[in-house]
Amino acid sequence: MEPYPASLLYAAKKLSGVARNKFKIVPSSSVTGAAYSVLSFQIPQGTIVDLQSLKLFLQVATASPGTAGIATDQVFARLPADITTMLQQVQVLCNGVLIGGSCTEYNSAYRLRKICASTFGRDQSIDRAVSHSTITDEEVNESGEFVVKDWLHTIFAGGREGASTRFLNTGIVGDITVRIQFSGNQVLCPKQKGEAMGVNFTTPEAATNATQMSWSYSDAYATIDAISMPPAYEDMLMAALAKGEQEIDYEEAYCWSLNNITGDAFEQRFSVSSRSLNKLFTGVRDSNYNTVGIKAHKLEDAIGDALVSNYQRFRMYPGPQYENNLWNYSLNGQLHPNFPAKLLEACADTAYVEDKMGVSGDGVLISSYADWKDGYGVVPLRLDLPIENALQSRLASGYDCRSTNASMSMSMRGMSVPAPPAGTGETAVRSAFSIAVTQPKLYIALGKTIAVSW
């Protein structure tokens, strides 16, 4: 038969006996909390859940009780871009076995990856509508209900980052628990009364009031979609389990920080043992990122959201000469790239690392080179092959370093040494943050037996 394209073929099939519904999940912990609180909930048992449909709903409120100075020294607490910034760590357990959650700064890892993986269209539409993707500067402490819906670096991630099996029969894996630790108050953005966000505080009293900001949540619950399938599907699944283990690939992230960078160069060392190391990302920010009350920064050449919270502001600190910074990753002594790379090359790879190629490829969240260097600075490295069709089902093609426990590093030289402007709260000390995106495999056997090959 001639190889005709699918658009010319006449074929239709029907899968009978399928039903679908959405379920509300009440947390097993308290539904209210504040900075550093822990929230836990369980995925429904004995059903087939759509892993990509998981959503967490939170009623969030900020407060700023500082009363120093006069009326114009009042400071309002505003939320950062993306409600996921409020999540410090996300852990997933199956039958008590940890299958995800190694990264202790989930929000920072999420930010670096989202800069490359997301698009303006998504960030300024559904993300802005329900997940607070944009910082706003109203003179009021912020409150509202928001949705955490994109679980990057977990088995619940969606889209190209999703698991190889989207619909998981929870009856064969046992109890699935999601455990979340929320972030501290340092992620909030202060807004002084009568002043634009991004400008310096006009008085020491206003700066003092900013350190009193806090946030809390209430009415927390999750939802997930579930389906029922015909008995023949259940029979097929049980027969497959009887013959051997079933496998699911998904993404996981590890993270490392290097603090107290004071010179014009640094080298951050770390090690990874993984069956498939797919991507590396690094960003550099002020060492004060964990300090409460530091002002947001306004980007001068941004399209869309021009405000970046201090916690999320990753910069390149370009050297005194144009494009003086040079960088490399090193994997077991092998340089990547194999030459000293310039900043512009890192910016260009922010689309390539997520396989957004060609003139029809999706864009990223960066709107200008200046914008990237001053607030969206991420240095990516790609080590895996693209997934070109559904039959590949998350083919593991990254760097296999299980037997070597790969010794790695990220180095940058030629950086400027900042002279902090007075009144900004900035320091001359920087902190590097790196993440490794890996592809573990979940093994499921009879008797709800779970194992993970990292």
80 SS3 class: coil
As a whole number of angstroms, the distance between CA 207 and CA 205 comes to 5
As a whole number of angstroms, the distance between CA 434 and CA 254 comes to 8
Residue 322: pLDDT band with limits 50, 70, 90 = very low
pLDDT at position 421: 79
User: Mean pLDDT over all residues of the chain?
Assistant: 93
The pLDDT of residue 427 is above 90? yes
Residue 89: pLDDT band with limits 50, 70, 90 = very high
Residue with tokens 């992230």: 253
Q: Which residues are CB-neighbours of 286 under 8 A, at least 6 positions away?
A: 294, 310, 313, 315, 426, 427, 429, 430, 431
Residue with tokens 């994997």: 331
As a whole number of angstroms, the distance between CA 369 and CA 343 comes to 10
pLDDT at position 320: 65
The pLDDT of residue 321 is above 60? no
174 SS3 class: coil
The one-letter amino acid at 202: T
Contact at 8 Å (CB) between 148 and 133?
no
Q: Which residues are CB-neighbours of 385 under 8 A, at least 6 positions away?
A: 395, 397
pLDDT at position 8: 86
The one-letter amino acid at 101: G
pLDDT at position 1: 55
The one-character DSSP state at 79 is P
| Alpha-helical runs (H) found in 13-170 | 106-117, 120-123, 126-130
pLDDT at position 215: 98
Taking the complete model, does pTM exceed 0.85, yes or no? Answer: yes
Of 267, 266, 279, nearest in space to 116 by CA:
279
As a whole number of angstroms, the distance between CA 376 and CA 299 comes to 10
> 335 vs 269, 272, 327, 329, CA distance in Å?
13, 16, 10, 6
* pLDDT (average), residues 121-132: 95
pLDDT in tens, 128-140: 999 999 999 999 9
pLDDT in tens, 169-205: 999 999 999 999 999 999 999 999 999 998 999 999 9
pLDDT at position 245: 95
pLDDT in tens, 397-406: 899 998 777 8
Residue 5: Cβ-neighbour burial (10 angstroms; 0-12, 13-18, 19+): exposed
SS3 per residue for 242-289:
HHCCEEEECCEEEEEEEEEECCCEEEEEEEECCCCEEEEEEEEEEHHH
The one-character DSSP state at 95 is T
pLDDT at position 151: 97
Of 342, 299, 341, nearest in space to 318 by CA:
342
